[in-house]
Structure 1
Amino acid sequence: MSSQLLWEVIKNHNSFMRKGVKGLVFSAEPGNLYNKHSYKFSGLANTKTVDIQADGDYVKFSVGRTKTAQQPRKSKHSEVIKKDGRAVLKAVGKQVQSYRPDLKAAALARASAVHKSIRVRKAKK
C-alpha cells in the first residue's frame, strides 16, 4: 500500500490522535518528531521515518527502513548516541541530512530537547 493511500485511510481516525483545545490536533505516534498530525511528520504513513528518544542517559536515534517496511521486526534501525550535546546534534544532523533532508530542523530540535531532558544539573555549592 502506498504511503499516500495509507495516510488517507488513517488521517481522520487513529488511536494516536490527540485533539486539543481550539481545534488543534496532535499525534502521539512513534516516529513523529514535532507531534503534529500531518502527512509530512507521520510515523505511520511514511516508510522513511526518523525517531529520536531518550534511552537511559543517552539519545536513541532510529530510522525506518524502506525495503523491510512490511516486516515489523526489521523495519527499524536504531543506534544509541553516547556523546555530549554538540556531538549529538552534529551526528543527528549528518544522518538526517543524508536520509530525509526535509526533517533536519525537526530532528535537531527534537534531539536538543531530548538531550536537555536527560542532562543532569550540577549541584550548587
Structure 2
Amino acid sequence: MSSALVWELVKKHNCFQRKNVKGMTFSAEAGNLYNKSSYKYSGVANAKTVHVEAEGDAVKFVVGRVKTAQQPKKSKHAVVIKKNARAVIKAVGKQAASYRPDLKAAAQARAAAVAKSIRVRKAKKTA
C-alpha cells in the first residue's frame, strides 16, 4: 500500500492520537520526531522513518528500511551512539541528512533533547 493511502486511512482515527484541551492533535507513534499529527512526520504512514530515543546512557538512532517494510523484524536498522552531546547531534544530523534530508533538523532537535535528558549533573562541592 502506498504511504499516501495509509495516511488517508489513519489521519483522523488511530490509537496514537492525543488531543489536548485546546483541541490540538498530537501523535505518540514511534518514528514521529516532533509528535505532530501530520503526513511528513508520521511513523506509521511513511516507510522511510527516522526515530531517536535514549538507550541507557547512549542515544539510539533508528531508521526504517523501505525494502523490508513488510517484514517487521528486518524493517528497522538501529545504531547506538555513545558520545558526548555535541558529537551525538552532529552524527544524528549527518545520518538523517543522508536518509531523509527534510527531517534533519527535527532529528537533531530530538537528539539534543534526549542527550539532555540522560545527562548526569556534576555534584556541587560543599565547603
TM-score by length of 1: 0.99
**Residue 102 of structure 2: aligned partner:** 102
| Cα distance between partner residues in 1 of 2:48 and 2:111 | 18
Displacement of 1:42 in angstroms is 0.2
Displacement of 1:97 in angstroms is 0.6
**Residue 31 of structure 1: aligned partner:** 31
* Unaligned stretches of 5+ residues in structure 2: none
| Cα distance between partner residues in 1 of 2:40 and 2:60 | 21
**Residue 22 of structure 1: aligned partner:** 22
**Residue 4 of structure 2: aligned partner:** 4
Task: Please tell me whether Structure 1 or Structure 2 has the larger radius of gyration of its CA atoms.
Answer: 2
| Cα distance between partner residues in 1 of 2:79 and 2:92 | 11
| Cα distance between partner residues in 2 of 1:19 and 1:85 | 32
| Cα distance between partner residues in 2 of 1:91 and 1:23 | 36
Q: Quick one: which amino acid aligns to residue 27 of structure 1?
A: S
**Residue 46 of structure 2: aligned partner:** 46
| Cα distance between partner residues in 2 of 1:79 and 1:104 | 16
- SS at 1:22 equivalent: coil
| Cα distance between partner residues in 2 of 1:2 and 1:56 | 35
| Cα distance between partner residues in 2 of 1:33 and 1:90 | 16
- SS at 1:9 equivalent: helix
Identity, % of aligned pairs? 74
Calculate the aligned-residue CA RMSD, in Å: 0.5
Name the count of aligned residue pairs. 125
| Cα distance between partner residues in 2 of 1:98 and 1:79 | 14
Deviant stretches of 4+, over 4 Å: none
Displacement of 1:71 in angstroms is 0.4
Displacement of 1:92 in angstroms is 0.4
